[in-house]
Amino acid sequence: MPCRVGKKVKLASVDELLGVPSVEGTVDLDVMTIYPFENHPFRVVDDEDMDELVDSIKENGVLTPVLVRPDDEGTYEMISGHRRLHAAKRAGLRKIPAIIKEMTNDDATIAMVDANMQREEILPSERAFSLKMKMDAMNHRGSRSDLTLSTKETKLHSAEAVGETVGLKRAQVHRYIRLVYLIPKLLDMVDAGRLAINVAQEISYLNNNYQQWIYEYIYENGMIKQEQLMALRQYREDDSLTQEQLIDILIESRATPQVRKHITFSERKLNKYFPAYYSQTEIEKIMTELLEQWKKSQKGGDQ
């Protein structure tokens, strides 16, 4: 990434930007001169909300300026406004209103996280990586400014400070941050609501091989409870388990036997797909074949 320079640009403060944005001190920047924040944790997707933003920009332009910081090559790193920039490009705009502000790496990280945390919908993975980025930045900044605190105390203070800015308690901040240590397949399950955060936190302390085996167990058997993972705590620093041994521990530690879901189809629903003269045996055979095809396609997608 290009190095930073010491240009003195007297423009709006970060606090003003994160409150009620001001158009004073804005400049129109070429959209091609702005690049994303390094390791930006918030996804920019072309969904229905993005389509609405594009339509709004086509009609009214970009009403809120983006926040960027300059480098020594005449380009700019985006701090706040990744979605607006993407929408502006889709709308065909060549320039976008921006506020340019010099910031250190730590200050830029904190400003980026704070601005994006105001979004209405944030995935657990986005919250996890952004909270970790902010806490790391605060720890780094704190290690320079408060030499009286130990490393552990600095982390505790920064976790509390991070939590205060987003309405979370210190323990909740740490719980979210643990998600960054999950393998991608399990993190996707958390985002999809198929894996509870407290359960994911327990899994995050295990090595990647164990996590992969747990993912396969969940895929084959359905949800997993936190109680089942308690027996694995002693193996957080131990990689001696085989997959068979780990699965046996999960099965033996289940509090109650797993009950499979009972699914029924009304005759009216079945008649939408099968002729009336099909027997029950023929219908079951076709449905089983279709489910086998679906199962194979799901396994293929997870490889």
* CATH code, 240: 1.10.10
Residue 238 lies in a domain: yes
Residue 156 lies in a domain: yes
Are 159 and 70 members of one domain? Answer: no
* CATH code, 33: 3.90.1530.30
Q: How far apart are CA 269 and CA 231, in angstroms?
A: 44
Are 214 and 139 members of one domain? Answer: yes
User: Vertex 201, ends 228 and 109: CA angle to 5°?
Assistant: 175
Q: Read off the pLDDT of residues 127-163 as tens digits, 9 standing for 90 and up.
A: 999 999 898 888 877 644 443 334 444 455 667 778 8
Q: How confident is the model at residue 299 (pLDDT cuts 50, 70, 90)?
A: low
Are 134 and 100 members of one domain? Answer: no
Q: How confident is the model at residue 31 (pLDDT cuts 50, 70, 90)?
A: very high
pTM for the model: 0.66
Q: How confident is the model at residue 185 (pLDDT cuts 50, 70, 90)?
A: very high
Residue 154 lies in a domain: yes
Structural domain including 65 reads: 14-104
Domains identified in the chain, total number: 2
Listed residues 219, 235, 252: the one ending a domain: 252
Are 100 and 133 members of one domain? Answer: no
Are 139 and 178 members of one domain? Answer: yes
Q: For all residues of the chain together, what is the average pLDDT?
A: 82
Q: How confident is the model at residue 302 (pLDDT cuts 50, 70, 90)?
A: low
